[in-house]
Structure 1
Amino acid sequence: MKLDMKLKVVLLSFLALWLSTAHSQPKELDKVAVIVDQGVILESEIQSRLQQVKQEALASGQDLPSERALRTQVTERLIMENLQMQMADRMGMQISDPQLDQTIANIAAEQGMTLAQLRGQVAKDGLSYDEYREQVRRQLIMGEVRRANVRRRVYITPQEVQNLVELMKEQGQQQAEYRLGHILIGFPPEPSDEDIESARDRAAKVLDLLSQGSDFAKIAIASSSGSKALEGGDMGWLNINAMPTLFAEAVQGKDKGELIGPIRSGAGFHILKIQDTRGLETVEVEEVKARHILMKPSVILSEEKIRTMMKDFREQLIAGEADFAELAKEHSEDPGSALKGGELGWADPENYVPEFRQALARLEKDQYSQPVRSTHGWHLIQLQDRRISDATEERRQNKAYQLLFKRRFAEEADSWMREMRDQAYIEVVE
């Protein structure tokens, strides 16, 4: 494997030399910076990402660490992305242009922008719209790869769900949420005593700097091995039942601004800072009753053909010339609802994928949507009704399961990423 990788570098270097001699005016060419299994990271990719991080930091007023520390973090992030994209290629995972366009339209809507305004903002940030599209496509693909590989590692027993339901009942509706800052001082998968002591010393020094008032985000970017290092260690708002168990036990009873740690785990030593806290307010939940027809593109049915068919179905339904249930039984490819005439029953809209949820939000009772593209395929949706529901026992069960799944998924995703990184051939090219 190592010989193959070095051969790739030699060939790429030879190509660069040939190109340089093919022109009368010598100019600086791109070069391979890191070999990652069967792929490479180019110096231009690292420089582009560095520039992007610097622009974002400047816009948010965030101080950055040294160029060397920043480059290390950026390179590590690109290595992990490269490994995931290679796995996506092996899995044959792709995001079609219509699906990508729909996602970008949703991003613009969520930010209160038109598509033209989003294009303007992208240009203002120094990116071409094509570059932005490919970045979004890349993020979607990596998300699908993570879900496909991590979901099967997550197992939750009914007893775990019931135990959490009981705990939630005891806590009542005012469940604490924490906004956590996280720094991980990591050590190798099978650390020696020296590795552990070295990591412990570094963690103690980091904690000492933080205790003296050093900027948490800057130190996280420079020192953390955690997945949120480039975000300054910001883990966002987490319900106490959704965060890793190790963190949940550590933060209980702690106040805003407190530093916690170092806490040892299998990955290294963790340092936490409680950036903020808040309680959950009691809210009534709006549930929707809907039905849909799902069709997936294939060799026979193109994206455009499906869209045209669904528009025809919609016109027939509005004119009273077709029955939704019969159309769903004949054409829908959703095994869970097709035989039931497309019926999805009552559900919290948050349970649906973003495109489906947003389409429902725009519908009035009994209205039909335009064809909607999601990761599952094309949907024709009818909103049958809305209702305001209290938190029933079933909803508590669902919420408990989702909290456990989110916690377990995050833990398993980190483990999966570390395993993939440890098994990969990585060589930084000097």
Structure 2
Amino acid sequence: MMKTMKIKAVLCSALMLASMGVNAKQVELDKVAVIVDQGVVLESEIQELVASVKKNALTSGQELPSDNALRTQATERLILTNLQMQMAERMGIQISDPQLEQTIANIARQEGVTLDTMREKLAEEGVSYDSYREEVRRELITGEVRRANVRRRIYITPQEIDSLVKLIEQQGQQQAEYHLGHILVGFPAEPSPEDVDATRSRAEKVLELLNNGSDFAKIAIASSSGAKALDGGDMGWMNINAMPTLFAEAVQGKKQNDLIGPIRSGAGFHILKIMDLRGVQTVEITEVNARHILIKPSVILSEEKAEKMLNDFRTQVLAGEADFAALAKEHSADPGSALKGGELGWADPEIYVPEFRDTLNVLAKDEISQPFRTVHGWHLAQLLDKRTGDATDKVQQDKAYQLLFNRKFAEETDNWLREMRDEAYIEVLE
């Protein structure tokens, strides 16, 4: 309590003294509206946030509650932001000016404008660029604080992922349509075991011809006992729920031009070809295997020296005077990859920050990049290899995981913020 009284007394005295003119007439410039643990929310901050909300509502034609209700909501948001910024300070989370400028440049690029155009638009809206920068910095810092504290509260079981994947697949299957080609190598009436074996052998020969490039329609007309034989075996477009169960099970997970069979039924052996499909998500992904050296600028190591350091490494490696892996082990600030000579392993490049992803996408195999900057620091990257494969199952699992994570993250963020506020000392001043 003594600490709180000191904060209140010092802040109020300082503000009052700063507002005294030559004739000692007091003019209130600002005042403390809320004491939040070791920090404060100023009246000017509340008024600025309320004014901003009103301006946005006017632009979008949105109705707002009473001024009292609006002030209460604005005050609550500023209390939570203040608590998160205090926690960031305790955790040592900071956003450097280069990181901030890079983030703002990315925002401008996503909006399809230049930085100069962005500055002009902000000025037209009555927002100073410096204020905007600091707001972005706060958002980045509070985002890092939330991720650091909420992520460890989230646990997703493999069973949850599998259940959601099945649900997604079922929903997708209801929309899926297949253009099927069908050849039936039929049994004679009342087939004997020998007849079954002979029919299977003919079906396998048909499949072999098709795999070797024979025309499906021509083979169907010549060999099929199916109702659509004269149509080249063309069964047309069929919803997965409308086709025979035997076929529906067989086509799941298959791609365009895949041949399926022979599948036995009471009529004989069936061979299917997926001529086309729609409403089915099939994903091919290009993965990269890369390695890098990360140098983090600091009070001791400037941005310029970090970049020069990597330029020197690049020159040495290209000249055969140094080994990339050895340099990574000795100098890289990425502990996860440094022990492996900087190698990151096979991964979808989309998992990396935009600058790292874009650099890898333009490198040729074994090529070493120029030094480049990301939010993590300065990098020197080398593309070791690329590969392309069917990632449909992985994408479905990743999608399910992300949906579950996002839902739980939102729930746990609310819980965490509520707990943090309940544990804090909050005093709203009259």
Under a length normalisation based on structure 1, what TM-score does the superposition of the two structures give?
Answer: 0.67
More divergent stretch after superposition (92-101 vs 311-320): 311-320
**Paired positions, count:** 326
CA contact (8 A) 2:366 2:383 kept: yes
Query: Relative to structure 2, which stretch is displaced further, 159-168 or 9-18?
Result: 159-168
Report the alpha carbon displacement of residue 170 of structure 1 after superposing the two structures with TM.
Answer: 3.3
Work out whether 1:106 is the aligned partner of 2:106. Answer: yes
Distance 1:341 1:362 in 2: 22
Q: 145-154 or 75-84: which moved more?
A: 145-154
Higher RCO structure, 1 or 2 (CA under 8 Å, sep 6+):
1
Deviation at 1:105, TM superposition (A): 1.6
1:19/1:330 CA distance change after superposition, 3 Å: closer
Query: What does residue 390 of structure 2 align with?
Result: 390
Distance 2:121 2:103 in 1: 17
1:16 is aligned with what amino acid?
Answer: L
Change (3 A) 1:101 1:76: same
Go from structure 1 to structure 2 and tell me whether the alpha carbon gap of 1:171 and 1:286 turns closer, same or farther (over 3 Å shift). farther
Structure-2 change in CA distance of 1:293 and 1:146 (3 Å): same
Matched residue type, 2:137: R
- Whether contact under 8 Å (1:174, 1:280) holds in the other structure is no
- Opposite residue 9 of structure 1, the aligned amino acid is K
- Structure 1: which amino acid aligns with 2:333? E
* In structure 2, distance between residues paired with 1:38 and 1:362: 49
CA deviations on 1:27-50 (whole Å, 9 max, x unpaired) are 331011111111110011111222
Q: Which residue number corresponds to residue 81 of structure 1?
A: 81
Match of 1:137 in 2: 137
Three-state SS of the structure 1 residue aligned to 2:334 is: coil
| Aligned partner letter, 1:103 | T
Deviation readout 1:367-417 (Å, 9 max, x if unpaired): 544434334333223345555543244444444333332222222111101
Residue-by-residue CA offset, 1:319-369 (whole Å, 9 max, x unaligned): 676553343233223233234332323322332234433444565665544
In the alignment, residue 9 of structure 2 is paired with which amino acid? V
Asked if structure 1 preserves the Cα contact closer than 8 Å seen for 2:311 and 2:370, the reply is yes
**Which residue matches 2:270?**
none
**Quick one: distance in 2 between partners of 1:173 and 1:121?**
47
Amino acid at match of 2:33: A
Residue equivalent to 1:215: none
Q: CA deviation at 1:153?
A: 1.2
1:423 aligned partner, one-letter code: E
Could you tell me how far apart the structure 2 residues matched to 1:166 and 1:41 are?
A: 49
Question: What is the match of residue 23 of structure 1?
Answer: 22
CA deviation string 1:244-263 (max 9, x = no partner): xxxxxxxxxxxxxxxxxxxx
Q: Is the 8 A contact 1:36 1:426 kept in 2?
A: yes
Post-superposition offset of 1:134 = 1.1
Name the CA distance, whole Å, in 2 between partners of 1:383 and 1:121. Answer: 40
Q: Which residue of 1 aligns with 2:68?
A: 68
1:132-171 to 2 correspondence within 5 Å? 132-171=132-171
CA distance in 2, matches of 1:336, 1:386: 21
**What do residues 89-124 of structure 1 show as CA deviations (whole Å, max 9, x unaligned)?**
111221111211221222122222222222222222
1:123–1:312 CA distance, 2 compared to 1 (3 A): farther
Q: Which has the greater radius of gyration?
A: 2
For residues 130-176 of structure 1, the C-alpha deviation after alignment (integer angstroms, 9 at most, x for no partner) is 2111111111111111111112212223333333334444343789x
CA distance in 2, matches of 1:115, 1:281: 38
Counterpart of 2:211 in structure 1 is none
2: CA distance between counterparts of 1:332 and 1:16? 48
Aligned partners of 2:316, 2:58: CA distance in 1, in Å? 54
Distance change in 2, residues 1:62/1:382 (3 Å) = farther
2:58, 2:281 → 1: CA distance? Answer: 35
- Note the aligned Cα RMSD (angstroms): 3.0
Q: Which amino acid aligns with 1:59?
A: T
Q: Which aligned pairs between 1:320-335 and structure 2 lie closer than 5 A?
A: 323-335=323-335
Letter in structure 2 aligned against 1:121: K
Corresponding residue of 2:201: none
Helix, strand or coil for the counterpart of 1:23?
coil
Give the counterpart letter for 1:139 in structure 2.
E
The alignment-based identity, stated in percent, is 66
On the 8 A contact 1:174/1:281 being kept in 2, the answer is: no
**Partners of 1:295 and 1:165 in 2: CA distance:** 40
The Cα shift of 1:305 comes to 1.9
SS in 1 for 2:112: coil
CA change 1:117–1:363 in 2 (3 A) is farther
Give the 3-state SS of the residue equivalent to 1:379 in structure 2.
strand
1-side partners of 2:127 and 2:392: how far apart? Answer: 47
**Alpha-carbon distance, 1:126 to partner:** 1.8
1:26-81 per-position Cα deviation (integer Å, ceiling 9, x unaligned): 53310111111111100111112222223333333433333222222111111110
Q: How does 1:250-269 map to 2 (within 5 A)?
A: none
**Structure 2: 5+ residue stretches without partners:** 176-278
Q: Where does residue 126 of structure 1 map in the other structure? A: 126
